[in-house]
Amino acid sequence: MAKNKFNKNWLHDHLNDPYVKLAQKEGYRARAAYKLSEIDQQDHLIKAGMTIIDLGSTPGSWSQYARNRLVELRRNPSPENAGKPDGCIIAIDLLPMEPIADVHFIQGDFREDEGLKALEAALPADANGKVDLVLSDMAPNLSGVGVADSARMALLAELALEFAKGHLKPDGALIIKCFHGSGYSQIVETFKGVFKTVLARKPKASRDKSSETFLLGRYLK
């Protein structure tokens, strides 16, 4: 009974969520697009000409936002490139993802050689294997057991950080999702060991009830 009540409450909140309605209106696959949008507007993350990697991209709203932003930022528009992004977006996920125009999607695991090679092969020739921005909205399947969930979240943060260390340009940035609670302060300290600037962000689009926080690292040490 309690579970049914919880599901009904969640459904009611979801259907009445202004960001859900906005996502439907503007063609985004998930309300998460507005979390990245707020952070990008605050911190000026996305710039023309960037190479961007979206880890754990499905269903694709972060890739959608990044693509739309790179279209807006296009330098020297011409009839040939009108409506095209000024930059490169590569998305990777274990799960399938519906195609997004101008986004190169790889269904695979960036932790495995096969997925990593496919990702590196998709990088622009002039990138020299390095990227400007790594996005990660990845989250584990939550069990409700705090310690276990924190450990899973910390592992995903560590994986994104390891990937970023190996692939970011010196002035690049990484943004990940994490949760306040056990292990959060350790993730922050780990970030501080890698980046010169570390910032926590809680966008308005992130639900008040959620302990979700986004951690932004910039400029490799």
Query: Distance between CA atoms of 15 and 38, rounded to whole angstroms?
Result: 21
Q: Are 179 and 150 in contact (CB under 8 A)?
A: yes
- Terminal alpha carbon distance of the chain: 52
- Taking each helix axis as running N to C, give the angle between helix 33-43 and helix 18-26, from 0 to 180 degrees, rounded to the nearest 10: 90
**Residues 8, 21, 177, 192: which is the catalytic one?**
177
CA-based radius of gyration for the chain: 18
What is the chain's percent helix, strand, coil content, to nearest 5? Answer: 40, 25, 35
Q: Among candidates 58, 67, 133, which has minimal Cα distance to 101?
A: 67
- Annotated catalytic, 117? no
Query: Hey, which residues are catalytic here?
Result: 177
